[in-house]
Amino acid sequence: MAIRVMLVDDHDLVRFGIKSLLQNQLGIEVVSDVSSGEECLEKCRIDPPDVILMDINMPGIGGFEATHRLQTICPNTKIIIITVHSDGPLPKRLLEAGAVGYLTKGCEVQEMVDAIHKVSKGLKYIAPSIAQQLALSMLPGNDSPIDTLSQRELQVLLMISQGQRTSTISDKLNLSPKTVSTYRKRLHEKLGVTNDVEMMRLAIQHGILDDDIEEHINN
């Protein structure tokens, strides 16, 4: 029986490209592709796939929160993060949230195929470059201020840094607007910044946001 795979990425061309690469691979069937964490959760409630290839930075709750929630919705589904981020604190935090694989979008097709087969058998797969960064991050002196954040604080940071409004974050995370504002204030204090723009730049510097967001800030 083929391994049933779902693709989650907000870029149509990325989903189309990965789907095209995987559709002729023996033992793999791409059963769905969606553009947000919310769509992923909705589909998984109805028909959980065997493996999900999950992007991180997407509108709405994004891949980090979706990965966390999927542990309750479909605990048997294996999640492979596939992203441009190969360093920073995100690999470690996403593995803690429940992902069992981590790839970069520059990986070879065969590596992606191997990762899908391995995680479907209950194994973990971390791309060598990411595994090296994880090991280095454990050495003294390599701490990131992002490491001090709780899971919820990190999720709020990601959503604020993507330009999402307090009302949107409140709705997506089932928090009151006042609670979101409290998280924002706490983030500023913990990260040593005075406003959201400084916080966004810090997030980019530490590898948890795409560089193209900084262009949006500057414009």
Q: Where does a domain end: 116, 137, 158?
A: 137
60 and 121 belong to one structural domain: yes
80 and 149 belong to one structural domain: no
77 assigned to some structural domain: yes
Q: And the tokens for 4?
A: 């049933």
21 and 88 belong to one structural domain: yes
| pLDDT, position 86 | 66
Whether residue 15 has pLDDT greater than 60: yes
Average of per-residue pLDDT across 125-152: 77
Sign of the CA dihedral running 89, 95, 99, 105 = positive
| pLDDT, position 215 | 46
36 and 57 belong to one structural domain: yes
125 and 150 belong to one structural domain: no
64 and 102 belong to one structural domain: yes
Residue 201 maps to which CATH number?
1.10.10.10
Amino acid at 191: L
Query: Considering only CA atoms, which of 115, 210, 123 is closest in space to residue 161?
Result: 210
Q: How long is the chain?
A: 219
72 and 163 belong to one structural domain: no
Number of domains in the chain: 2
Mean pLDDT of the chain: 89
29 and 86 belong to one structural domain: yes
23 assigned to some structural domain: yes
Q: Between 88 and 69, where is the model more confident? A: 69
Place of tokens 């992002």: 146
219 assigned to some structural domain: no
178 assigned to some structural domain: yes
Q: How confident is the model at residue 136 (pLDDT cuts 50, 70, 90)?
A: low
Which range of residues forms the domain containing residue 91?
3-137
Q: Where does a domain end: 108, 137, 166?
A: 137
Q: How confident is the model at residue 138 (pLDDT cuts 50, 70, 90)?
A: low
Residue 21 maps to which CATH number?
3.40.50.2300
* CA–CA dist 162, 210 (Å, integer): 10
197 and 95 belong to one structural domain: no
44 assigned to some structural domain: yes
Amino acid at 47: D
Q: Between 199 and 208, where is the model more confident? A: 199
115 and 207 belong to one structural domain: no
54 and 154 belong to one structural domain: no
- pTM of this structure: 0.86
Per-residue model confidence as pLDDT tens digits over 19-58: 999 988 999 999 999 999 999 999 999 999 999 999 998 9
